[in-house]
Structure 1
Amino acid sequence: MARYDAEHVGAAPWLLSGPALLVFIALLLAPLLLTALLSLNLFSDTEGVLPVYSLANYLEVFKDDYFHEIFLRTGAMALAVTLLCVLLGVPETIIIARMAPRWRSTFLLVVLGPLLISVVVRTLGWAILLGNNGLINDALQALGITHEPVKILFTQVGVIIALTHVLVPFMVIAVWATLQRLDLQVEWAGLSLGASRLTVFRRIIVPQIMPGILSGSIIVFALAASAFATPAIIGGRRLKVVATAAYDEFLGTLNWPLGAAIAMLLLVANLIIILGCSKLAERRFKQVFE
């Protein structure tokens, strides 16, 4: 009887997670597998996708300087967005966490509120703000900082600004979760022993919230590297990133295998970076809380 119960208890987690696992396989793994297979097909301008398997699409991406530039641009933009989200999101989260409870919930809602709005709507709003006749250029000229409109729209700087606004809430959420475990008594002890607030922040607060910063950085970098709507609207047709390049191959030239190869390379690059940062985050988490 005991053996019977043990066998059924051991199978219970699989039975409970089975439906979710099937949905995960059907909606995520199966499309990824089909995309990976599609990336191995050859393409002909006259015959379309050919039932011939080869690594030619991947070799084309690795050999073409055009794709090198796109991948480097995407990585640089994702890194810049991640750094800006850390610089803006971490102090913002700490300030909100130190507010009175009635103000804390209000300001937290203000910070996370943009997540309730479609990313396309927010990006279109930034397109209006960053345009030559937008509010930002009008303000710069009214203050006498510039005498003519500054070109921000359809530039890499404009895409970074818009993506930072879109992704800062994810950094706030990650750091907020870590701040809930922050021991304020350790901070007060450091201040009572004569340490400056900067020293306390650098030696006590930052090490304890580092797991949240690393987790938020992973999320922000992955979302920024794979973003499509914001670079497509703010960057325009000339400023290509990996996601828009794959889109153009799928719907522009109809070269689906090459588009699938670009998408798979982006996925692999993201996975390598995410897994590496995850290992670092786990190590930092153990050092802080063990």
Structure 2
Amino acid sequence: MRKPRNAVTPWLLSSPAWLLYLLLLAVPLAATLLLSLRTFDATRGTWSGSGSGLTNYLVILGDTYFHTIFARTFALAAMVALLCVLIGTPEAYILSRMRAPWRGLFLIAVLGPFLISVVVRTLGWSVLFGANGPVSLGLQTLGWVNEPVSLLYTMAGMVIALVHVLVPFVVIAVWVALQGCDPDVEHAGTSLGAGQWTVVRRLVLPQIVPGIVSGSAVVFSLAATAFATPAIIGGRRLTVVATAVYDQFFGTLDWPTGAALAVLLLAANLLILTTYQRLVERQRRAPRPVQPVLKEARS
């Protein structure tokens, strides 16, 4: 007869992880939330607990300057996530079809951005994007432009730099999803007369949707909270929420407003990601008319 398991045992075994979670995540988040409820006195350069507690949030929500910053932040994150999916999904599919040793070599090349510090990598992009950088000189040599072109302090420059470092997250997520695909399904579709594009679109793509969704969600979250790349490439001309938080903490010393911006960024990010996940799950569960692959291939 099996001995009944003690209900307390799982909690005791997981207690170190819970303790680490509380110390490294829950406690700092709670401290940031409490700090955001305080008010800042610009004349004295101090902050206290007087006021309604929601003053900082009301100021941020009612200021068009912060509206622009939040809109720019999530527009940047959306563009980066879309480009990472468009680049990373076919890249992962091609890598999964490669054989050794080429697969390992190209996988190392894809994961190469992780081997370089984010500051060093971003400074490298700033050199490339400068008016006298290789990109500008190359465009002038080809005759595509007649004067120096700089991608510094532009949305395009930030998007390119962030896509470069965040594409591997989509590649890894889609790669894992592809490992669970049955290759016999593709062989069956090909044997029934379906073309390669039809097999990928009708048979492979539906199976790797969870990987695409998880990868794009990770990329969106990281792009929305990125600091180093927007600070160096975007500068003060294109301020995002992360750089605005930095300015509030270390520029004006208005820590409560900076904490409120951080809390709102976290809340908005979670809301967008949760809505995105629910829409994707609802779309996946929606009934679809069954159309044979062979019929579509012949048509």
Fold agreement, TM-score > 0.5:
yes
Which bracket does the TM-score occupy, shorter chain normalised?
A: over 0.9
Q: Which residue of 1 aligns with 2:49?
A: 51
AA matched with 2:103: R
- Indicate whether 1:32 and 2:49 are aligned: no
Q: Which residue of 2 aligns with 1:14?
A: 11
CA deviations on 1:179-217 (whole Å, 9 max, x unpaired) are 101111111211221222222111111111110000000
Q: Which residue of 2 aligns with 1:129?
A: 128
Cα drift, residue 119 of structure 1: 1.0
The count of residues paired between Structure 1 and Structure 2 equals 284
Contact 1:86–1:171, Cα closer than 8 Å, also in 2:
yes
Q: Secondary structure at the match of 2:111?
A: helix
Contact 1:211–1:285, Cα closer than 8 Å, also in 2:
no
Q: Secondary structure at the match of 1:6?
A: coil
Unaligned runs of at least 5 residues, structure 1: none
AA matched with 1:252: G
Q: How does 1:144-183 map to 2 (within 5 A)?
A: 144-183=143-182
AA matched with 1:98: R
Q: Which residue of 1 aligns with 2:206?
A: 207
More helix by share: 1
AA matched with 1:233: I
- Indicate whether 1:237 and 2:230 are aligned: no
Q: Which residue of 2 aligns with 1:251?
A: 250
Q: Secondary structure at the match of 1:20?
A: helix
CA deviations on 1:104-140 (whole Å, 9 max, x unpaired) are 1111111012112111111111111111111111111
Cα drift, residue 12 of structure 1: 2.4
Cα drift, residue 275 of structure 1: 2.4
In the alignment, the residues of structure 1 paired with residue 122 and residue 229 of structure 2 have an alpha-carbon distance, to the nearest angstrom, of 6
- Indicate whether 1:41 and 2:45 are aligned: no
AA matched with 1:49: W
In the alignment, the residues of structure 2 paired with residue 175 and residue 149 of structure 1 have an alpha-carbon distance, to the nearest angstrom, of 39
- Indicate whether 1:189 and 2:212 are aligned: no
- Indicate whether 1:139 and 2:138 are aligned: yes
Q: How does 1:210-289 map to 2 (within 5 A)?
A: 210-280=209-279
Cα drift, residue 273 of structure 1: 2.0
Give the % identical residues.
57
In the alignment, the residues of structure 2 paired with residue 175 and residue 29 of structure 1 have an alpha-carbon distance, to the nearest angstrom, of 31
Q: Which residue of 1 aligns with 2:118?
A: 119
Cα drift, residue 15 of structure 1: 1.5
In the alignment, the residues of structure 2 paired with residue 49 and residue 196 of structure 1 have an alpha-carbon distance, to the nearest angstrom, of 67
Q: How does 1:97-116 map to 2 (within 5 A)?
A: 97-116=96-115
Contact 1:227–1:243, Cα closer than 8 Å, also in 2:
yes
Q: Secondary structure at the match of 2:180?
A: coil
Question: Cα RMSD (Å) of the superposition?
Answer: 1.8
Q: TM-score by structure 1 length?
A: 0.93
In the alignment, the residues of structure 2 paired with residue 54 and residue 39 of structure 1 have an alpha-carbon distance, to the nearest angstrom, of 8
Unaligned runs of at least 5 residues, structure 2: 287-299
Contact 1:211–1:281, Cα closer than 8 Å, also in 2:
no
Cα drift, residue 2 of structure 1: 6.9
